Structure 1
Amino acid sequence: MSNTQQAGAVVVHGGVGSSTDNEDGCVLAARRALGQLEANGDALDAAIVAVATLEDDGRFNAGSGATLGLDGATIEMCASIMDTRGRLGSVICVRDVKNPVRLARAVADTPHVALAGEGAQQFARSLGMPGSAPVSERQRNAHRQLMRELAGSVPLMPGIDNRLFERFWNYKTPLQLPASSACDTVGAVVRGPDGAFAVACSTGGSAPRLLGRVGDSPMVGSGFYAGTLGAIAATGIGEHIVRHLLARTVYGWLEHGMALEEALRRGVELFPNDVDVGLIGVTKTEACAFANKALPLSKMTQR
Structure 2
Amino acid sequence: MNPVLVVHGGAGPVSEDVKERVRQGIIRAATVGYGILREGGSAVDAVEGAVVTLEDDPEFNAGCGSVLNTNGEVEMDASIMDGKDLSTGAVSAVRGIANPIKLARLVMEKTPHCFLTHHGAAQFAAAMGVPEIPAEKLITERNKKRLEKEKQEKEAQETDSEPNLGTVGAVALDCKGNVAYATSTGGIINRMVGRVGDSPCVGSGGYADSNIGAISTTGHGESILKVNLARLTLFHMQQGKTVEEAADLSLGYMKSRVKGLGGLILVSKTGDWVAKWTTTSMPWAAAKDDKLHFGIDPGETTVTDLA
C-alpha displacement of 1:134: 4.5
C-alpha displacement of 1:18: 4.3
Find the residue that maps to 2:276 and give its secondary structure.
Answer: strand
Structure 1, 35-44 or 183-192: larger mean CA deviation: 35-44
Equivalent AA in structure 2 for residue 207 of structure 1? I
Over residues 163-212 of structure 1, what are the superposed CA-to-partner deviations in whole Å (9 max), with x where a residue is unaligned? xxxxxxxxxxxxxxxxx943321000001111100000000011231111
The answer to whether the Cα contact below 8 Å between 2:9 and 2:60 also exists between their aligned partners in 1 is: yes
For 1:249, the equivalent position in structure 2 comes to: 232
Find the residue that maps to 2:216 and give its secondary structure.
Answer: strand
**What is the alpha-carbon distance in structure 2 between the residues aligned to residue 136 and residue 80 of structure 1?**
23
For 1:289, the equivalent position in structure 2 comes to: 275
User: Is 1:298 paired with 2:285?
Assistant: yes
**What is the alpha-carbon distance in structure 2 between the residues aligned to residue 106 and residue 213 of structure 1?**
23
The answer to whether the Cα contact below 8 Å between 1:34 and 1:302 also exists between their aligned partners in 2 is: no
Q: State the number of aligned residues.
A: 275
Find the residue that maps to 1:250 and give its secondary structure.
Answer: helix
Find the residue that maps to 2:112 and give its secondary structure.
Answer: coil
The 5-angstrom pairing of residues 29-44 of structure 1 reads 29-44=29-44
Q: Which runs of 4+ in 1 moved over 4 A?
A: none
User: Is 1:79 paired with 2:78?
Assistant: yes
The answer to whether the Cα contact below 8 Å between 2:147 and 2:190 also exists between their aligned partners in 1 is: no
User: Is 1:263 paired with 2:246?
Assistant: yes
Find the residue that maps to 2:254 and give its secondary structure.
Answer: coil
Percent identity over paired residues: 39
Find the residue that maps to 1:298 and give its secondary structure.
Answer: strand
For 2:113, the equivalent position in structure 1 comes to: 112
Over residues 9-36 of structure 1, what are the superposed CA-to-partner deviations in whole Å (9 max), with x where a residue is unaligned? 1110000004244121111000000111
C-alpha displacement of 1:130: 2.6
The answer to whether the Cα contact below 8 Å between 1:183 and 1:237 also exists between their aligned partners in 2 is: yes
**What is the alpha-carbon distance in structure 2 between the residues aligned to residue 194 and residue 253 of structure 1?**
24
Equivalent AA in structure 2 for residue 291 of structure 1? W
Find the residue that maps to 1:288 and give its secondary structure.
Answer: strand
Find the residue that maps to 1:232 and give its secondary structure.
Answer: strand
Question: Unmatched 5+ residue regions in structure 1?
Answer: 1-5, 159-179
For 1:139, the equivalent position in structure 2 comes to: 143
The 5-angstrom pairing of residues 23-172 of structure 1 reads 23-72=23-72, 74-86=73-85, 87-109=87-109, 110-132=111-133, 133-156=137-160
Equivalent AA in structure 2 for residue 286 of structure 1? D
Question: Unmatched 5+ residue regions in structure 2?
Answer: 291-307
User: Is 1:212 paired with 2:207?
Assistant: no
**What is the alpha-carbon distance in structure 1 between the residues aligned to residue 59 and residue 228 of structure 2?**
28
Structure 1, 181-190 or 217-226: larger mean CA deviation: 181-190
CA RMSD in angstroms comes to 1.7
Over residues 198-251 of structure 1, what are the superposed CA-to-partner deviations in whole Å (9 max), with x where a residue is unaligned? 000000011231111011111111110111210011100010111101100000
**What is the alpha-carbon distance in structure 1 between the residues aligned to residue 40 and residue 132 of structure 2?**
28
C-alpha displacement of 1:41: 2.6
Identify if the C-alpha distance between structure 1 residues 153 and 98 changes in structure 2 by more than 3 Å, giving closer, same or farther: same
The answer to whether the Cα contact below 8 Å between 2:6 and 2:172 also exists between their aligned partners in 1 is: yes
C-alpha displacement of 1:56: 0.2
**What is the alpha-carbon distance in structure 2 between the residues aligned to residue 79 and residue 102 of structure 1?**
9
**What is the alpha-carbon distance in structure 2 between the residues aligned to residue 92 and residue 32 of structure 1?**
25
User: Is 1:15 paired with 2:15?
Assistant: no
Identify if the C-alpha distance between structure 1 residues 219 and 134 changes in structure 2 by more than 3 Å, giving closer, same or farther: closer
Equivalent AA in structure 2 for residue 208 of structure 1? N
Normalization by structure 2: what TM-score? 0.85
Over residues 108-137 of structure 1, what are the superposed CA-to-partner deviations in whole Å (9 max), with x where a residue is unaligned? 021110100011012112222233424221
User: Aligned to 1:240, which of 220, 223, 232?
Assistant: 223
**What is the alpha-carbon distance in structure 1 between the residues aligned to residue 214 and residue 120 of structure 2?**
29
Find the residue that maps to 2:64 and give its secondary structure.
Answer: helix
Equivalent AA in structure 2 for residue 229 of structure 1? I
Equivalent AA in structure 1 for residue 255 of structure 2? P
Find the residue that maps to 1:46 and give its secondary structure.
Answer: helix
Find the residue that maps to 1:108 and give its secondary structure.
Answer: helix
The answer to whether the Cα contact below 8 Å between 2:74 and 2:138 also exists between their aligned partners in 1 is: no
Structure 1, 126-135 or 279-288: larger mean CA deviation: 126-135
**What is the alpha-carbon distance in structure 2 between the residues aligned to residue 35 and residue 268 of structure 1?**
30
